[in-house]
Amino acid sequence: MSLWSELVQFLTLKTWLSLQLFLF
């Protein structure tokens, strides 16, 4: 479960950064 949580956080951060780069 811990590994899954880490994966979710990583994907969320990656997506957020991608959106930031796309918008700005």
- Count of H-run helices and E-run strands, the chain: 1, 0
Task: Decide: pTM greater than 0.75.
Answer: no
Q: What distance in Å separates the CA atoms of residue 3 and residue 21, rounded to the nearest whole number?
A: 27
Res 23: pLDDT: 80
pLDDT tens sequence across 1-24? 799 999 999 999 999 999 999 886
Res 9: pLDDT: 98
